[in-house]
Structure 1
């Protein structure tokens, strides 16, 4: 796989061991030489677009915020910002240029460092973007370990009225257990299906941890990546794992990154169909037991 495509699948930023699992060392070296990807620090690779924010901050005199701030922190995102995201003081004039602009009161520390705080960045994204985009940011923030869920819940409750409900929802659902935006977006799709109640990284005896689990319906939903399944050993692990799940009476649904990112309605429809017949089965078993 091309390193740019690999980084996009990995959330826009990745350490070497994650990147090399989807591509080759020679391709990474070539992409670095071409400037298509960057290595801003040791064991950290990102898309070249990430450097645009520094020029935008210098040109506008503003502060990197929203998805651009999340990029600065090295968080994994559903997608890169289309334009550099800049927050300006409320009194500032609108600068010319292709920017995503916001106006707010900024702290001295934020102005000095040219980037909004971590907690503020999560809440800003929650108030401004779709739920799946914002939850990817929140999950990444929690995985980093500097802010915790209580920080987000408090900040969401104190946020401006416009967008507050969205912020509270994101803070309430945020979890460090989801490994990447792929799993987060699959979770958001699954949560939209009526009658389904999934938890991330649910443990199944004899099988291990699965991406999403509904215990009541006996459903496992997996976000499948080439990273773990392109070798003979990986194939054997898959066969063993899902055979054990079937022997326990579980139904396993598996979706690719392309499915989740570009065909979410189809993914939701597939999950909903299985939920319907698993619910019928559950009712039938209950009736027989009675």
Structure 2
């Protein structure tokens, strides 16, 4: 027996079989109790605009659009991704940026489903996004438990071999897309770091870099209220007591201005190295002076 469809649509034949008449269907559409996506296809009035547009195109929500509906991180949510049947005619336009997918699906959706299956959405998203965004998406799917190791193995078997490098960059410990993106920046900068580190008196921090710099990836959703900011500042203060410095790039910059965040990380690391080198040289000079005084 097939599973219940995701975001179901209703065919006229289904509704007629359930006892609806054409007159009742017209009245339901007029009263807003049903939405008519296209001839013979109906949706409930609370259906998302993305699903409505996909149905009007005779397709299914796909790729990053489907993943966003499932709570998986994707970098760009502005474009609507729709999977269309291979034999479909040129679809009508919709009032938004549109990306069409025609490739063969690896999982068969329920006949009434308005969304491709998770596996196909992930396969599409890896090919459709830049590498850093694809890593963040797969990290998110792994962290939320929507994707397990066996399915990950299968996913990279169906993807072209050139995407194998992405798998080596995955880390399911990252709890948000911005965290994954910052992890890639730290790796690219050649910095030594740990992920999700528990510090007594402070709590679990997103990253601990070179044993002294805490990096926390802040989002508007979880850090916008004064209570949240006060909690964050007290954590930073507790960390400072223990000798740690804290850097909090905001999610907006992490996602859309990564060069700024990367430059800040490299600058902090370089400053630390310069400071450590100066202290070491000063210590050597002091020790040399002490030896000279003893000799004289």
Common fold by TM > 0.5: yes
Give the TM-score normalised by the residue count of structure 1. 0.66
Instruction: Give the 3-state SS of the residue equivalent to 2:207 in structure 1.
Output: strand
Deviation at 1:210, TM superposition (A): 0.7
Q: Mark the runs of 5 or more structure 1 residues left unpaired by the alignment.
A: 1-49
> Which residue is 1:125 aligned to?
125
* Residue 78 of structure 1 pairs with residue 75 of structure 2: yes
- RMSD over equivalenced CA pairs, Å: 3.2
Q: Structure 2 vs 1, CA of residues 250 and 67 (structure 1 numbering), >3 Å: closer, same or farther?
A: same
Cα distance in 2 for partners of 1:86, 1:222 equals 35
Alignment of 1:1-290 (within 5 A): 51-82=48-79, 84-98=80-94, 99-107=98-106, 109-110=108-109, 112=111, 113-161=113-161, 164-165=162-163, 168-192=164-188, 194-214=189-209, 216-225=210-219, 227-228=222-223, 230-231=225-226, 235=230, 237-280=231-274
Cα distance in 2 for partners of 1:180, 1:273 equals 24
Q: Structure 2 vs 1, CA of residues 71 and 239 (structure 1 numbering), >3 Å: closer, same or farther?
A: closer
How many residues are aligned here? 232
Cα distance in 2 for partners of 1:74, 1:121 equals 12
Deviation at 1:189, TM superposition (A): 3.4
Q: Structure 2 vs 1, CA of residues 280 and 52 (structure 1 numbering), >3 Å: closer, same or farther?
A: same
Cα distance in 1 for partners of 2:235, 2:205 equals 10
Q: Structure 2 vs 1, CA of residues 123 and 109 (structure 1 numbering), >3 Å: closer, same or farther?
A: closer
C-alpha contact 1:224 1:256 (8 A) present in aligned 2: yes
Q: Mark the runs of 5 or more structure 2 residues left unpaired by the alignment.
A: 1-46, 285-296
Deviation at 1:219, TM superposition (A): 1.9
Cα distance in 2 for partners of 1:105, 1:267 equals 39
